[in-house]
Structure 1
């Protein structure tokens, strides 16, 4: 949002750039409904903040939460509750279909609503049965084995029949019916739908059953044919709801990919070659496996239930205190005067906001609504304006320390300390943003663009006086590198955001703090659904072993050429990431691609950074480039042309990961001299790369052969070896001499004998 000041200078002031965009299928409640949903969302986020910091509710209140005798909660129980809460909240907030511009099309459909009311009967039966099971387990009447309560739900026993007919079948009927009815039932945008509330009840039934059963010895049977059949029923219903909510909040791309993996599980024994498995997997065994720490409750949900939701709360506090507006205004004041100023503002502002935001496309919508129109105003083509914003927002996902939550997932999967990952990401992030900056600058120089006038910009002196608004970010970084846990550092930064707001015109009162928790609860729904959905894919990979077989393919390719194996791994990582948010894209690609790279002898950190980069870059890689498409929607340009242009602007990021393999100093591995030299030469390399791609060198356009020389020199410099650096400097010197003294025509064509 852009506001012109009432002063004569008519300066551009950013307001609301960090506000969460309202999706076309999101409900906008009013009155008591709004208060109910807001309260539920705030409590959901507050629950996580309390649990992560070890706050014992029962110790403070004396209240024992039913089914949850230990609080803070056991890990699996915490993750189950985390997913169930997101499902219940998500179904209420996000409609199954987009809302129509014609208000009458969204009138309440009484028939579908009445059918949904009928389905409450099996749903409540499933809830009652799960609570009854929990009471039986808690009563102490069941035998124990090894200190754990047994759960005698074997075929032919009364409990088995009760799990099937009183819990499983009713739950599947209610869940399936609720999902299908959700596609047809309509209601005004500010009202609840019966089918959505029904699905919330089903989510509670799944959570209540799993929390109760996983507290017994039956938990040890997960992933085997002996898992209780009730677990399979609950996991089937839970997986179906996760897929439906993912469709509502993130589109069909991830749902389709997950569906392909699910189909593969049950037909793998029929397939030839490396895709084959020895025997078929039963429905009971697979779904008993997938809703465990090997799948949905595994690394992706571990991260979403801890680090991701914590930093979503942090982002919500920054939003409530208007710090995001300050970031953008500071970028305008600092960089707006340079040629092509709004594009350079987009680089800084979108990179910083994207680091916290967590999704490339979401950040494009948030900051692009301000920067893209201003880029067009100073002379950038709509395609270029959209591409710059897409590339900058995507770069935020690789910027430490937060890296759009990617660093936390990498730490969870690899076991490498988070601090080491954040440090390793510094040079690659600098190279990316330096490259994008030069791409933008050279484009502006070629087109003779100006910067924004002083009277169009916020006053830099005023922005400097408000530099204290960076304190929450500084505290976060300092706490992390002082050795505090990520949870403690994030909590301190969140508290600092509230305190700093008291120095601004937007102080956070108790009402503001509650509002921030409400925003966090709503903002977390999408990423939780996506991480849980990615967990299904991880479960398929862990059960079928397809990741190990893919590793064998990479090893075979490496026997021919390691570069070929890396290129193949890059293609798979990009393909798996297309249409998916960053966290899910990396989680899936890391499960499939990274193990094979490690088996090639590539260090674990290098392998995962390689995969992470290309999973992130899928957001600007044609043909399915979510960030580019979002930017095209704002700029009014052709989506495919915008994605090609953003690919061009971010091209350095497609080259640098290959250099990790040849020069680990780019990931801060080596002596200080090696790291500094690698950083300097690689920075010079991306400068040359930008000049070669844009055709601009020494303040003038370059001929085609000079551009080829610059790109060649860039690749040699980025590689980082002493010999390649010297050769690169020599090639650059040759290009400089030709450009400086011979002045070749940049429009000269390549003569081809007989072309006419």
Structure 2
């Protein structure tokens, strides 16, 4: 690894135009990596029609959510199956398919999707009535078509893992009477099963309800922020603040990924948005490709647990727990801060070990002009203020979108009036056209980003429906109780493993929804508080994005860094090792979820912070200097002491870690090599 100047002479970070071009190409490549099929490149009237269909799709949601609500079942059917029609047109069935046109069978599937929508639109009241008195043949046929279309839609947008899981659960409906022990159930008539799963207890259940309201709004909000160039601003601000420090590029990655991740709510999208800029910068600074990718993957993954958005799974959590979303945000604040403290500490220690300097100050954006653009944060500020003023999350997102549009309008107009010195009429006309194009691009981008989430949320509804229909959820709880026995820590560790396994190749929203359906009831029956249970599962579902063997965020970062998939994934786990213990901290001490008096919360936060920093020292094998193996064990033990929520162990852990720090400091002053 190279030490010394972090960039080659005369090699400046890429400019905005180059950055956008690189980001666009890398976005397409990463989307192909994470989907099981290939994105089509459609031109001419068909491509234009598809683009405007996406724009209309998101605009319809904004209208329904903010202006004129419609029947919930109809809204969910439109959400899933209009989304499916767009998704089937956007993604081909196979990488070997022609990508410049829509295949004839996809036209049929798209027509069938629209047919499903019309079935629910034209007979919503009758469908709800027949859910009590029994379905007719048309309900059953449409239900079968809906299931088949949804599974194919999910396969194309999210890969094979999620449809396979759903198919296994569907098969269980009919295989259950043949299975022994806890897996046995009495069986369900196939028509009853189809109509149950294709109804409001399955496909159109809680997960789709959340997707059709909160998720689509916040995905659109993030798209508008991107259209306003807020993502570039986050990168520039992070560079100006910490780019000059040792390991500056890695610290820029941590800070910019945190800022963008607070609204993107997707680890892979976060990797692509910030990694196209930060990963090449880290490589120029002397980071090897695997390490550069690992830093970006870990930092970007944390965006899904960072308020105010916290990823799509947090909206599902609020709905399942029956708590206001604002409470979930408050509960997630300290774990998110601990996550990024751990990331920042690892970045600093790695740079210290490798003697990596920061970027020359002359290559960094000047801070003062950036401070004059702090108004770009105003949509986020408005979002938070409105949320905590008692408004619904999607109304808060709507006001955030409106604020972003105002900022873009003022920026475009000022640019033409002040810099280009256009006449007022020409400036207004030009800025109006520019604003229209920016809004259209934001809506189109929002529809593209929402497709995968729509698919996985609806497919997660299939799994939830099977669990409710067969009663297997209660048996899962019994199995979990048997595994845990009288040791809850074993049961919650099992839940962590389940969340990590379910997250293999599956978006974290789906991983959380599945894991929560399978293991959350058992943990709650064992006495673990519901909020702690769901936050624990959610946290590990998020961490699955960097955990091999299938780590979507690590794989995306490896692609950008041109590194090894396994090497990047393993280094991401090492880089984020301290973050894997954060859920155990708030499991043992729920005060860390802001469940207690302010003084208790502050004390718990400070000791937990000491714990993650000490664990970072132990993992990196470096404090003020290299740590020999015995001292690494001592520091690791000190970190674990800080996790236990008792004053004696906290003080002992801090004292032990402080003693090692003091010993290294004194050894350094004497000129000895600390070890």
Q: TM-score, normalised by structure 1?
A: 0.81
User: Which residue of the partner structure matches residue 634 of structure 1?
Assistant: 560
Q: Show the 5 A alignment for 1:167-182.
A: none
Deviations 1:98-123 (A, max 9, x none): 26xxxxxxxxxxxxxxxxxxxxxxxx
- How many Å separate the matches in 1 of 2:444 and 2:567? 38
Partner of 1:739: 664
State the match for 1:442 in structure 2: 349
Q: Which residue of 2 aligns with 1:491?
A: 398
Q: What residue in structure 2 maps to residue 269 of structure 1?
A: 177
Aligned pairs for 1:684-695 (under 5 A) are 684-695=610-621
Q: Which has the larger radius of gyration?
A: 1
Q: Distance in 1 between matches of 2:394 and 2:523?
A: 31
Q: Is the 8 A contact 2:638 2:657 kept in 1?
A: yes
TM-superposed deviation, 1:283: 2.0
Q: Distance in 1 between matches of 2:368 and 2:199?
A: 55
> Is 1:223–1:285's contact at 8 Å kept on the other side of the alignment?
no
Identify if the C-alpha distance between structure 1 residues 686 and 590 changes in structure 2 by more than 3 Å, giving closer, same or farther.
same
Q: Does 1:37 align with 2:34?
A: no
1:737 Cα deviation after fit: 4.7
Query: Alpha-carbon deviation of 1:730?
Result: 2.7
Structure 1 stretch displaced more, 580-589 or 431-440:
580-589
Residue 694 (structure 1) shift: 0.4
Q: Distance in 2 between matches of 1:629 and 1:193?
A: 30
Partner residue in 2 for 1:219: 128
Cross-structure match for 2:35 = none
Which of 535, 539, 545 is residue 613 of structure 1 equivalent to?
Answer: 539
- Residue matched to 1:537: 463
Partner of 2:323: 416
5 Å-filtered alignment, 1:449-598, equals 449-504=356-411, 509-598=435-524
Kept in 2: contact 1:704–1:746 (CA 8 A): no
CA contact (8 A) 2:642 2:650 kept: yes
Conservation of the 8 A alpha-carbon contact between 1:317 and 1:513: yes
SS in 1 for 2:78: helix
Cα distance in 2 for residues equivalent to 1:212 and 1:745: 81
Q: In 2, are the aligned partners of 1:13 and 1:457 still within 8 Å (CA)?
A: no
Gaps of 5+ in 2: 1-8, 33-37, 416-430
The equivalent of 1:386 in structure 2 is 293
| Shift, 1:556, TM fit | 2.3
Distance 1:355 1:580, change over 3 A: farther
Structure 1 or 2: larger helix share?
A: 2
Q: 2:71 aligns with which of 66, 70, 74?
A: 74
Q: Distance in 2 between matches of 1:591 and 1:437?
A: 34
Any residues of structure 2 matched to 1:78-477 within 5 Å, and which? 78-98=75-95, 186-187=97-98, 189-216=99-126, 218-222=127-131, 226-277=134-185, 279-477=186-384
The superposition leaves residues 426-447 of structure 1 with CA deviations (integer Å, 9 ceiling, x where unpaired) of 1000000000110111000000
Give a deviation string over 1:687-718, Cα, whole Å, max 9, x none.
11111110111x21111111111111112223
The 10-residue stretch of structure 1 (193-202 or 729-738) with the greater mean CA deviation from structure 2? 729-738
Are 1:21 and 2:27 an aligned pair? yes
State the distance in 2 between where 1:747 and 1:464 align: 41
What is the rounded CA distance, in whole Å, between the counterparts of 2:63 and 2:495 in structure 1?
A: 41
CA distance in 1, matches of 2:352, 2:362: 22
Question: CA, structure 1 residues 500+564, in 2 after alignment: closer, same or farther (shift >3 Å)?
Answer: same
CA distance in 2, matches of 1:570, 1:409: 18
Contact 1:598 1:607 in 2 (8 A): yes
8 Å contact from structure 2 (residues 14, 277) kept in 1: no
Give the deviation of 1:719 after TM superposition.
Answer: 3.1
In 1, distance between residues paired with 2:458 and 2:293?
A: 31
CA contact (8 A) 2:276 2:560 kept: yes
**Further displaced range: 358-367 or 523-532:** 358-367
Comparing 301-310 with 710-719, greater Cα deviation is found at: 710-719
Contact 2:264–2:309 at 8 Å: present in 1 too? no
Instruction: For residue 96 of structure 1, give the secondary structure of its aligned residue in structure 2.
Output: coil
Q: Distance in 2 between matches of 1:252 and 1:355?
A: 28
Question: Per the alignment, in what secondary structure is the counterpart of residue 498 of structure 1?
Answer: helix
1:153 corresponds to which residue? none
In structure 1, the residue matched to 2:582 is 656
Alpha-carbon separation, structure 1, partners of 2:303 and 2:487: 33
User: Using the alignment, how far apart are the partners of 2:249 and 2:379 within structure 1?
Assistant: 26
Q: CA deviation at 1:13?
A: 3.6
CA distance in 2, matches of 1:303, 1:652: 31
Could you tell me whether the CA contact under 8 Å between 1:223 and 1:286 is conserved in 2? no
| Residue in structure 2 matched with residue 726 of structure 1 by the alignment | 651
Which of 618, 626, 630 is matched with 1:701 structurally?
626
CA apart distance, 1:228: 2.4
Equivalent position SS for 1:21:
helix
8 Å CA contact retained: 1:666, 1:679: yes
How far apart are the structure 2 equivalents of 1:694 and 1:511? 48
The aligned length equals 635
- TM-score between the two structures when normalised by the length of structure 2: 0.90
Gaps spanning 5+ residues in structure 1: where?
1-6, 56-71, 100-185, 749-756
1:414 positional shift:
1.0
Aligned partners of 1:13 and 1:329 also within 8 Å:
no
RMSD: 2.2
Contact 1:254/1:580, CA 8 A, preserved across alignment? yes
Q: Deviations over 1:510-553 (max 9, x none)?
A: 23222322222222212111111111111111112222111112
8 Å contact 2:263–2:308 — kept in the other structure?
A: no
- CA–CA distance in structure 1, aligned partners of residues 283 and 234 of structure 2: 21
**Which one has more relative contact order, counting CA pairs under 8 Å at least 6 apart?**
2
CA-CA distance at 1:11 after TM superposition: 4.9
Residues 325-383 of structure 1, C-alpha deviations (whole Å, 9 max, x = no match): 11111111112111111111111112222332232123222322221111111111211
Query: Does the aligned pair in 1 maintain the 2:317–2:534 contact within 8 Å?
Result: yes
CA contact (8 A) 1:12 1:456 kept: no
* Structure 1: distance between partners of 2:577 and 2:62: 39
